Amino acid sequence: MSFSKLHDVIIAGAGPVGLFLGCELALAGLDVLIVERAESPQAPLKLPPLGMRGLSVATGEALYRRGLLDDLIATADAARAAIASHAPSRGAVKPTKAQVGHFAGIPIDPALVDLSQWTYRLPSPAFANFAADMASVEAVLTERALALGVEIRRGLAVTGVCDGSDQVTIDLGNLKLRARWLVGCDGGQSSVRKLAGFDFPGTEPEFTAYYALVDIADSHKLLPGRNATASGFYVNLPGQISIADFDGGAFDRSSAITRDHLQAVLRRVSETDVTLTAVRLATSFTDRARLVTSYRRGHVLLAGDAAHIHSALGGQGLNAGLGDAMNLGWKLAATVLGTASEQLLDTYETERRPIGQWVLDWTRAQASIMKPTPQARAIEGIMRDLVGTGDGATYFAEQLWGITLHYDLGSDHPLVGYSAPDLTFQNGRRLAEHLCAGTGVLINLAGDERLRAASERWRDHIDYIESVAQNSLGLSAMLVRPDGFVAWAADGEPDFGGFDQAISQWFGAPALAC
């Protein structure tokens, strides 16, 4: 078959990461095509309760800054209510908001979290962990992507990748497509990663975990809640069972999880002769952990599980993937449009790969204290004591919520590299509203004339705001990237040397004549 037109970007994978990245690129006016192996987006494992995912404050802020947060919460609430109306006794409904999280099953008491330690945080609709099912996340992102002109084609598996000097050719069976850039968002078994030759080192698993909706003939034989045993642990909730079997990850995840297999695992781990009468739905995962050595090879990039895999402990996978998409989107768009420096795209890897490494280490640490050994149980006891203190609860909360997510942008200002506070301006508009279009924002809180003059040079690429704020947090000026992270900030008289440096990193040219 003959070649198609040349797309700006082709994304492999129509999961949340690929869809969100498609939205980000389309905001900049790029020609974006998403190809997906699956024929249909519908799948039972995407629905509540097995499809539920905890979304961090950092993810909530990303969605909020693109005007997607309210739609997602409403859609997820409706999906959860629909499931509950059909099976109210199964305990499938959980609160959407006000969830704090846990570390290796150790719950964090929200009353112990000291919010005052986060100096540059302001209240916003995004400042809360919440849960949403994968089907709702994909539905909201698909609707936005289509509205922005993204083309989504299903039933197409990537079978070949050829990276040329200025474009990539992608084989999809009998079909060949071309693009200036290819991004693999096609999951832990990524075809793009394998075909493009990315190195993917890591560690092998120690356990297989199962999560299932079940009917139990003699549920009284199982203790309620979470229970540690000699071979792992199990969590017994109404109509649901979770099991961690420290079998070295021996279960073949390509095999179906049968009633007999799950019953045998549950009996071994729970040390009972409990009987399952039905397995209605089941999934499994391991703690295998791998991270690509580079997020980019030529004109091919990776994001989400295609770049990093790890256990689902702590619910960081989706959050890390959406963070990849938010970071990559504006940088790749600026590269395609020629408005950014050639080095800007390289910062995708330098900023996000350390986050990927942190997620692997965070989940590995949890797995290590969940082992069925006296040493691990001893460490778990110490961790429980630590989590039970104010400083401990605050530390774990800020890690889980993404409060401490930081990019090293070469500035000494304590706000630079962190998520921008959601300032409310004199006219009542919030900063997040100015970020919905996917452009950066230069904020002149003190009415500085030089900053006003500098804004003229970048007015085609950066939104300019000159206004006081209801609470400026002592700031006089701030330059916010399209992803909502602070590129430059000033207290008092602006430091224009720092401003020039930030603009140069972004656009490859100084802002002011020095």
Sequence-distant (6+) residues with CB within 8 A of 146 are 152
Average pLDDT, the chain: 92
What number is the average pLDDT over the span 56-72?
Answer: 95
> What is residue 86's predicted lDDT score, i.e. its pLDDT?
58
How many residues in the chain? 514
> What is residue 461's predicted lDDT score, i.e. its pLDDT?
86
Residue 243: enclosing H or E segment and its boundaries?
strand 240-245
Q: Print burial letters for 336-359: b (CB count within 10 Å at least 16), e (below 16).
A: beebbbeebbebbbebbbebbeeb
- Order the strands of the 202-203 sheet from edge to edge: 202-203, 289-291, 308-309
What number is the average pLDDT over the span 112-138?
Answer: 90
Listing DSSP states for 76-107 in one string gives HHHHHHHHHHH-GGGT----SB----EETTEE
> What is residue 458's predicted lDDT score, i.e. its pLDDT?
84
Q: What are 232's strand-pairing partners?
A: 245
Provide the 8-state DSSP code for 494: -
pLDDT value at 99 more than 60: no
How many angstroms separate the CA atoms of 370 and 374, rounded?
A: 10
How many angstroms separate the CA atoms of 348 and 435, rounded?
A: 19
How many angstroms separate the CA atoms of 173 and 150, rounded?
A: 22
Amino acid identity at 513: A
How many angstroms separate the CA atoms of 70 and 177, rounded?
A: 36
pLDDT value at 95 more than 70: no
Superfamily of domain 6-100+122-201+290-385 in the CATH hierarchy = FAD/NAD(P)-binding domain (3.50.50.60)
> What is residue 85's predicted lDDT score, i.e. its pLDDT?
65
Q: What are 228's strand-pairing partners?
A: 233
How many angstroms separate the CA atoms of 237 and 240, rounded?
A: 5
Tokens standing for residue 129: 């962990």
CATH topology of domain 208-286: Alpha-Beta Plaits (3.30.70)
pLDDT value at 2 more than 80: no
pLDDT confidence bin for 91, thresholds 50/70/90 = very low
pLDDT confidence bin for 496, thresholds 50/70/90 = confident
Q: Do domains 6-100+122-201+290-385 and 431-507 have the same CATH topology?
A: no
> What is residue 82's predicted lDDT score, i.e. its pLDDT?
81
Q: What phi and psi, each to the nearest 5 degrees, are found at residue 208?
A: -115, 130
Give the count of beta carbons closer than 10 Å to the beta carbon of residue 378.
11
Predicted model pTM? 0.94
Give CA torsion, residues 8, 9, 10, 12, to 10 deg.
Answer: 180
> What is residue 92's predicted lDDT score, i.e. its pLDDT?
38
CA 252, chain centre distance (Å): 27
What number is the average pLDDT over the span 383-397?
Answer: 95
How many angstroms separate the CA atoms of 85 and 91, rounded?
A: 11
* Closest to 245 in 3D by CA, of 224, 223, 263, 258: 263
pLDDT value at 14 more than 70: yes
What number is the average pLDDT over the span 159-172?
Answer: 95
Domain boundaries, the chain: 6-100+122-201+290-385, 208-286, 431-507
Q: What are 135's strand-pairing partners?
A: none
pLDDT digits (tens, 9 = 90+) for 256-299: 999 999 999 999 999 999 999 999 999 999 999 999 999 999 99
pLDDT-above-90 percentage for the chain: 81
* Closest to 192 in 3D by CA, of 164, 168, 174, 167: 168
pLDDT digits (tens, 9 = 90+) for 187-244: 999 999 999 999 999 999 999 999 999 999 999 999 999 999 999 999 999 999 999 9
pLDDT value at 22 more than 90: yes
* Closest to 264 in 3D by CA, of 377, 250, 254: 250
Answer whether CATH 3.40.30.120 is correct for domain 431-507: yes
